[in-house]
Amino acid sequence: MKKFSWTSGLSLFVLALAVLIALFGPLVFPGDPNLVDLAKALRPPVWAGGTWEHWLGTDQLGRDSFLRLIHGARVSLGIAAVATLLGAVIGTLIGMLAGYLGGWADALLSRLIDIQLALPVIVLALAVATVLPPSVISIVVIIAVSTWVSYARVTRAEALVLQNSEFVALSTVAGLRLPKILGRHILPNVMPSVLVMMSMDFGKAIVFEASLSFLGLGVQPPLSSWGSLIADGREFIIAMPSLVLIPSIIVAVVALSANILGDWVRDRIDPSLGAVSAAPRAELGGTR
Amino acid sequence: MLIECTDISKQFSRRSPRVLDEVNIAVDHNEAVAIVGESGAGKSTLGRILLQLETATSGSYRFEGREVSSLRGSAYREWRPKVQAVMQNPRASLNPRQPIWVSITEPLEALRRMGAQQRKRAAGDLLERVGLPAGILQRYPGQLSGGQRQRVAIARGLSSDPKVLVLDEPLSALDVSARAQIIELLAQVHRDLQLSYVFITHDLTTVTELCSRLYVLQRGRLVEEMTTEQMLAGPEHEYTKKLLSSVLTLDSPSIRGVA
Amino acid sequence: MTRQDIPLLEMRKMSVSFPTQSGERIEVLSEVSLNIWPSEVLGVVGESGSGKSMLTFASLGLLPKTGRASGEVRLRGEALHAQHKRRMSQVRGREIGLIVQEPTPSLNPVRRIGSQLAESARHARIPADQIKSASIRALDEVNLPAEVLGRYPGELSGGMNQRVAIAMVLLQNPGVLIADEPTTALDVTTQYEVMQLLEGLRVQHEMGMMLISHDLGVIKAMADRIAVMYRGHLVELGTTEDIVSRPRHPYTQTLVASAPRLHPIEAAPLQDSGCPLLPGDPQLSDDHDHPPTLERDRRHVVWCWDAHHGHAR
C-alpha cells in the first residue's frame, strides 16, 4: 500500500480549500461579483501596483476579480462534481446491466461504446452544444456524455467476470431478483474501480468545463466559471495578463491536485478486492 | 421420481459441438447420485441445467413431474428453493464483501419476508448444523479457512430446506484433512435431512464414500449407469474401467515396475 | 559415474522465511534436511502451507526476492550456493530437472513447442545440427508425434503440455528430477498415464527423483521413501510401507486416515496425542542433526515435540 506522501497531503489540502471556498466563500466575502464599475476597469492586482480594495484587480468592466473567482469556484467545482457523478452513475448502471445480462443488451451496449469511442470527445461536445442551448445543464450533460463510456466499459468487463463467478450463480439459485443481485453482488465489487475513475475524472471535468466555457459553449453571463473568466480575459492578455493567468493557474493546480489524489485513491484501494477473478492460483508453500 | 431428465442436449451455439448429447438421468427422493466424468465431459453443464443456470437446448427436465423450463412466476419461485447448490471453490462461492450470515440466508430471503434478526437467528442455527460456532455470523469469508468456507456454503445450500443439493466438485479444492471432515458432514446431513444429492465429480473415491449410484459421462455422452457396488465389482464399459483403474489411492498397486 | 554412497542431492537444514506486512519474518520452512539417493524416488507429502514447494524453490535458488533462505545444498557432494548465479543456472535443468503443476503457463504461449525444446537443447549444449533430431527423439519418448514441434502450447491439452515439459527435461538428461505436483492439474486417466511415463523414463535415464504432492495416493504409487511435512517442518520420514501402514506421528496418522479410498475404511479414532506441533523445542534441532546413515538404513524417523512419540527409532 502506498504511503500518504506530502504531495498527496498538499493535494488534499488544495482540494479541500477549493471546496470550502466554493461552499462558503461567498458568505465569508460578501459582495456582488457582477457589480460593474467602469471607473475601476482593469485595475492590476496588489503586487503589480493595485490597491487592497481589489487585491486581485478588476476586469474590463471593473468587476472584482477575487469575488468573481470565488463565485466561479462554485460553478466550476459544482459542474465538475455533478457531471462526474452523473457520468459514473449512468455508465456503471449500463455497464453492470450489459455485463450481467449479456446477450442482446450486451451487444447493444458494445456497439454504443464502439460508436462513442470512434467519435472524438470534442466533436461530440460541439455536436451536443449545437443542439442544447449553452447552460450549466448542457455542460453537465456534455461532460457526462463524454465520460460514461469509460465507466460502462470497465464495469461491463467486471460484471462479466462476476456474472460467471460462483457466488453470483448461487444468488440466482437462491432466487434473488435482478436488482438485488446487481445491488448486492455486482455493485459492491465494481465500486472500487468506479471510485478510482471518479476521482480521476473530477480533475478532468474541471479542465473540460473550463475548455468548454473558454470556447463559449459553456456557462453564460451573468454566471461565470473559471473557464469563462479565462475566456473573458483573453482580449487583455497583454495589457492585463493576471486576468487570464490567475484563473488558469487555479484550474491547473486544482485539476492537478484532483489527479494526484486520484492516484492515491487508486493505490489505496486493494487491487485484490477489485474484481473477483476465478480460482486464485497457488499460494506460497502450497498448491491447494 | 424427484428429477427426471430425458434426452437432455446442450449446445452453446449452433456451430459448436454438443456439450451434452441426449443424456438421461433420474434421481429419486433421498437418493445420493453421482455424475462422474473428466474435464470436458459436460458434467458441470448438466449440473447448471439442473439448477437452471443454463437451459437445455433440447430434452425434458422434470422436477416432481413438472417441466421446469415451463415454470413461470409463482410456480417458478416455488420451485427455486427446492434445488440448491454447493460449488467447487469455497473462495469464490461467497461474496467477499458481505458477512457470511447474509450469504447463508439469501435463499431464505427470496423465499419469504423475514427481518434481519430472524434471518440471523436462522443463520446461527444453520451454522451449528454444519459444525461451526454461531458466533462467527458477522465474519467475512476472508476470515475463514477453506474448509470453514465450504461448511458455510453447505449451510447456505440447506437454508431453504431444499429437496436436492447439487454439489459440483465441493471437495476438490480442499486439503485432505478438510476433505475428510466435509465428507463426514455431507454424509451426516444426508442421514439427518430427507434430501437428495447430485454429486458432480471427477473423483471415484468421493462416489464410494457418499453415493449409492452413479452415471458416467464421456465427452457429453452417458456411457454407463450403475450402483456403486456394481462399479466396485467391475464396470462394463471400457471407459469406466479405465477411470477406475486410474484412481491412485493407498490401496492401489504401485506403478513401480509396471511401466 | 554415480557413486552409490553419497546422495545425489543433499538438502541440509533448509529454512525459508518471508516478511509479513508488520515487518516480522515468518518461517515457512524450518531446518528441513532430506537426501535423494541414486535411483530412488523420495516422496514429499504435505497440505497447503506445509512448505513442501518451498523446499524445491530454496534448493534451486528460485525464491522470490523477499524470501530468505538458509541451509546447504549439495549435488553429488558439491556444495551449491544460490549466490553463484552461473553455476546455479547450469545446475537447473541440466543437472536437476524441474516439472511443475501447471504445464501450460510454464510454457511460453507465443512460441512454438519446437523453439522451446530447442532452447532446452541449447542449454544442454546439444550441437545445433542435432537439436531437431534430439527434440523429435525427446517427444517420441513422451509419446508425442514430431508434428507437435510446430504447435503452440495453447493448441495442446494440459496432459500433452505436461508431456512437453517432461520432454524438455529429458533433453537435458539431468541426474535428479524434481516433480512438484506434476499431475495435480490433470484428469485422473491422464494423471495415471503421466505417472507411468515418468516412472518409465526415470528407470531408463537412471534419475533420482523427488516427487512432491498433497496426494498421498499419488506419492504411495511411486515413492520408495516418504517425507511428511507439516507447517514448514519435516515430521516423519520412513519407507513408503512404514509410513502408510504404520504411521507414528499424529499428523501422519491423520493424513493416512483421511486419504481418499475406493473402499472406505472405518478409521480407528485417533487419540489426542497432545502433540503441540509447535517449533521452538530444543529437541528439534538435535533431531535434524541426524547422521545420513539413518537414511541409508531406510529407517523410520519421527520428529515430534511430545516425548511419548520420541524420535529416531
Nearest C-alpha neighbor of C163 from the set C116, C232, C123, C216:
C116
Instruction: Please tell me the predicted confidence (pLDDT) of residue A75.
Output: 86
Contacts of residue B48 in chain A, CB cutoff 8 Å? 169
Secondary structure letter of residue B42 according to DSSP: S
pLDDT confidence band for C307 (50 / 70 / 90):
very low
Instruction: Please tell me the predicted confidence (pLDDT) of residue A84.
Output: 94
Contacts of residue A282 in chain C, CB cutoff 8 Å? 53, 101
B32 Ramachandran zone, left/alpha/beta (phi>0; psi -120 to 50): beta
pLDDT tens per residue across span C42-77 = 999 998 888 888 888 888 888 888 888 888 888 888
Q: What would the DSSP string read from start to end of C76-103?
A: TTEEE-TT-HHHHHHHHHHTEEEE-S-H
> Does B26 score more than 60 pLDDT?
yes
- Residues in chain A where the model's pLDDT stays below 50: 1-2, 271-288
Question: Structure pTM?
Answer: 0.81
- Of A79 and C106, the structure prediction assigns the larger pLDDT to A79
Instruction: Please tell me the predicted confidence (pLDDT) of residue C299.
Output: 60
Give the least confident one: A115-119, B201-205, B217-221, C203-207: A115-119
Q: What would the DSSP string read from start to end of A154-179?
A: HHHHHHHHHHTSHHHHHHHHTT--HH
- Of A50 and B135, the structure prediction assigns the larger pLDDT to B135
> Does B57 score more than 50 pLDDT?
yes
In contact, A187 and B120? CB cutoff 8 Å: no
Give the least confident one: A22-26, A121-125, B73-77, C13-17: A121-125
> Does C296 score more than 60 pLDDT?
no
- B220-227 average pLDDT score: 95
Give me chain B's average pLDDT, please. Answer: 91
Instruction: Please tell me the predicted confidence (pLDDT) of residue B218.
Output: 95
Instruction: Please tell me the predicted confidence (pLDDT) of residue A4.
Output: 63
- C110-131 average pLDDT score: 89
Contacts of residue C254 in chain B, CB cutoff 8 Å? 177
Instruction: Please tell me the predicted confidence (pLDDT) of residue C280.
Output: 34
Considering only alpha carbons, which residue of chain C is nearest residue A284?
Answer: C49
Considering only alpha carbons, which residue of chain B is nearest residue C243?
Answer: B250
**Is the Cβ pair C50, A285 closer than 8 Å?**
yes
Place of cell 439442473: B50
pLDDT tens per residue across span B171-186 = 988 888 889 899 999 9
Contacts of residue C51 in chain A, CB cutoff 8 Å? 285
Instruction: Please tell me the predicted confidence (pLDDT) of residue A270.
Output: 54
Q: How far apart are CA B29 and CA B31, in angstroms?
A: 5
In contact, C162 and C148? CB cutoff 8 Å: no
- Of A43 and C250, the structure prediction assigns the larger pLDDT to C250
Give me chain C's average pLDDT, please. Answer: 81
Instruction: Please tell me the predicted confidence (pLDDT) of residue C1.
Output: 53
- Of C275 and B19, the structure prediction assigns the larger pLDDT to B19
pLDDT tens per residue across span C71-100 = 888 888 888 877 777 888 888 888 898 888
Instruction: Please tell me the predicted confidence (pLDDT) of residue C100.
Output: 85
pLDDT tens per residue across span C197-232 = 999 889 988 899 999 999 999 999 999 999 999 888
Instruction: Please tell me the predicted confidence (pLDDT) of residue B151.
Output: 94
Considering only alpha carbons, which residue of chain C is nearest residue B247?
Answer: C188
Cβ partners under 8 Å of residue C203, min gap 6: B259
Instruction: Please tell me the predicted confidence (pLDDT) of residue B195.
Output: 94
Instruction: Please tell me the predicted confidence (pLDDT) of residue C2.
Output: 62
Q: What would the DSSP string read from start to end of A71-136?
A: HHHHHHHHHHHHHHHHHHHHHHHHHHHHHHH-HHHHHHHHHHHHHHHHS-HHHHHHHHHHHSPSSH
Considering chain B, what percentage of its residues have pLDDT values greater than 70?
99
Q: Which of C48, C189, C221 sits opposite B243 (nearest CB)?
A: C189
Q: Which of B176, B202, B259 sits opposite C258 (nearest CB)?
A: B176
Place of cell 440448491: B84
> Does C139 score more than 90 pLDDT?
yes
Residue C269 CB-half CA count within 13 A: 2
> Does C172 score more than 60 pLDDT?
yes
Residue B104 CB-half CA count within 13 A: 34
Instruction: Please tell me the predicted confidence (pLDDT) of residue C290.
Output: 34
pLDDT confidence band for C297 (50 / 70 / 90):
very low
Q: How far apart are CA A110 and CA A97, in angstroms?
A: 12
